[in-house]
Amino acid sequence: MIIVHHLNNSRSQRVLWLLEELNLHYRVQHYQRDPVTLLAPPELKAVHPLGKSPVICDGELTLAESGAIIEYLVDSYGSGRLKPAAGTPESHDYRFWLHHAEGSLMPPLVMSLVLSRLEQPPVPWWLRPLARKLAAGVRGAYLQPLLTQLLAHADRQLARTGWFAGAAFSAADIQMSFPLEAARARGVLNAEHPRALDFLCRIHARPAYRAALEQGGPYAYGAD
């Protein structure tokens, strides 16, 4: 049986969703973040040296990284589901968005989260204005323009194809869900991105998405 080492409020929620979409049997091993640092507990390092989630165990295989896990599960158990046929234009879109989610869109969102904490740092009061000024400068000069470009690109793709890899729902949509959820939670995905907001409404209505939330527990997209 597949075991999902699931950290609360983490990207491993996507793995649970994919398993539900594939109708596979699995078991969830739950882990809780440190309430102060929000980091994963040290117990996860006993599963994988990086001590992060998601991690799955399937027989003798232990596999980390969201994209690698998604590719493995779809290739091993999908039987052609949730992935466009090889060599089609949709397959190229599928590969791009599957890797774009973590390679391009998530890094500035994580940096935005770090800066939000820098704006209220645990430092002497006389250093706080400097920290806030630094955070505002990075956000205005770099992060906001980059996120505007990336989210507009995602919105255009959805307007063009319906889902990220064509007219059919695929694992690329599962992978892209987390950064879009996080972007909305942090206020950068808004009415300027109507197709992306509609995408979130559509995935929330999927029975497998709701079943995965029941398995994973309460979820806050601002934590990871």
* 151-193 residue pLDDT tens: 999 999 999 999 999 999 999 999 999 999 999 998 999 999 9
Q: Where are the domains of the chain?
A: 2-82, 89-206
Global pTM value? 0.89
pLDDT at 223: 42
pLDDT at 9: 78
Helix (H, G, I), strand (E, B) or coil at 23: coil
Quick check: 75 and 95 in contact, CB under 8 A?
no
Q: Quickly list DSSP for 28-90.
A: EEEE---TTT-PPPGGGGGTSTT--S-EEEETTEEEESHHHHHHHHHHHH-TTTTSPPTTSHH
User: How many C-beta atoms surround the C-beta of residue 91 within 10 A?
Assistant: 16
C-alpha distance from residue 66 to each of 47, 113, 164 (Å): 15, 20, 17
Q: d(Cα 203, Cα 218) in Å, to the nearest integer?
A: 17
Does CATH place domain 2-82 in 3.40.30.10?
yes
* 123-134 residue pLDDT tens: 555 556 655 665
Instruction: Give the right CATH number for 89-206 from 1.20.1050.10, 1.10.10.10, 3.90.600.10, 3.20.20.60.
Output: 1.20.1050.10
Angle between helix 171-185 and 89-100 (nearest 10) = 40
